[in-house]
Amino acid sequence: MNSLQKLGFSEGTKLLIIHADDAGLSHSENRATIKSLENGFVNSYSIMVPCPWFYEMALFAKKNPQFDNGIHLTLTCEWENYKFGPVLPVSEVPGLVDKNGHFYRNREELRKNASPEDVRKELQAQIEKALKFGLKPTHIDSHMYSVGATPTFFKIYKELGKKFNLPVLINDQMIDMVGLDRNLSIDKTDFIIDKAHFGEFEYFRNGKLGDYYSQVFDNLSSGLNLILIHPAFDDSEMKGVTVNHPNFGSEWRQIDLDFFTNEENRSRLKENNIELITWNDVKIAEKLF
């Protein structure tokens, strides 16, 4: 049974989740995420529990349950001058941190240093912290898809989804991106996002990031699609967070915010017969099957 059948839609239907990653990363990210939800056409987001601005976004989530939100499981911190680490004491998960107690910058360093036990403990702690705060997440996904750093970490990710009865983001392109074997990573019972769309640096460097998103709308295939964006303001705070990191930097994130709060761009959904759906819809469908 494919995703459309599981969700109760007829063949040929174009379904789309427009999802904002990285809420909680900074005040700028939070403000922009909220704007994209309230004044734009983003319909889902996920929160980074270990980050300094988690509390602000978690309060918003509690006060605004009408907006679909998940937990953006975090094991890496890619920024040069802005750092954070695990929610657990460093002494409990020593394999997840560098000499200063911060997450490693990329999946390769995580793969070399982290133990499966540390990964499981920290990811579970992030979920439990969100639940203890009173959040009601609709799903879990992963910052930089770092849960795919090893097959074992990915298995833990899926097991935690089952443990907490939450859908997890699983998608062929993202599995390929982190170098996992699809045949070994995906089970027949897994709920799969048919197609994930996310900007690439070439589009941004050539001033074509907005054009890329327009092309996604115009050429969207049938099935369950996901667009991953990272809205924030190109302000002094976000420039400081993303210094020397133009890929998904502050300018990129402002483009995301501007595109997905533009009414002309919203009209493309109707023009292309695209139906918005949320992770909560996926969660309900998973319970039925």
pTM over 0.85: yes
pLDDT at position 289 = 57
The DSSP H or E segment spanning 119 is: helix 116-133
pLDDT at position 120 = 98
Distances (CA, A) of 240 to 26, 82, 200, 234: 10, 8, 22, 10
Residue range(s) defining the domain that contains residue 144: 3-288
Measured distance CA(164)–CA(86) in Å, rounded:
20
pLDDT values of the chain reduced to their tens digit, one per residue, 289 residues? 789 999 999 999 999 999 999 999 999 999 999 999 999 999 999 999 999 999 999 999 999 999 999 999 999 999 999 999 999 999 999 999 999 999 999 999 999 999 999 999 999 999 999 999 999 999 999 999 999 999 999 999 999 999 999 999 999 999 999 999 999 999 988 999 999 999 999 999 999 999 999 999 999 999 999 999 999 999 999 999 999 999 999 999 999 999 999 999 999 999 999 999 999 999 998 876 5
Residues with Cβ < 8 Å from 223, sequence gap 6 or more?
A: 2, 3, 4, 13, 14, 15, 194, 195
Would you call 105 exposed, middle or buried from its count of C-beta atoms within 10 A (0-12, 13-18, 19+)?
middle
pLDDT at position 287 = 76
3-state SS track over 37-80: HHCCCCCEEEECCCCCCHHHHHHHHHHCCCCEEEEEECCECCCC
pLDDT at position 107 = 98
Q: Are 24 and 69 in contact (CB under 8 A)?
A: no
- Tell me the CA end-to-end span of the chain in Å, nearest whole number: 10
Q: For residue 51, give the amino acid letter.
A: C
Measured distance CA(185)–CA(170) in Å, rounded:
9
Residues with Cβ < 8 Å from 97, sequence gap 6 or more?
A: 85, 86, 90, 103, 104
Specify the CATH number for the domain of residue 57: 3.20.20.370
What is the DSSP-derived secondary structure letter of residue 106? S
Q: Is 126 helix (H, G, I), strand (E, B) or coil?
A: helix
pLDDT at position 75 = 98
Closest-CA residue to 253 (of 196, 187, 204):
204
Tokens of 278: 């949320």
Measured distance CA(173)–CA(209) in Å, rounded:
19
The domain tally of the chain equals 1
Angle at 264 between CA 261 and CA 268, to 5 degrees: 100
Tokens of 45: 């987001």
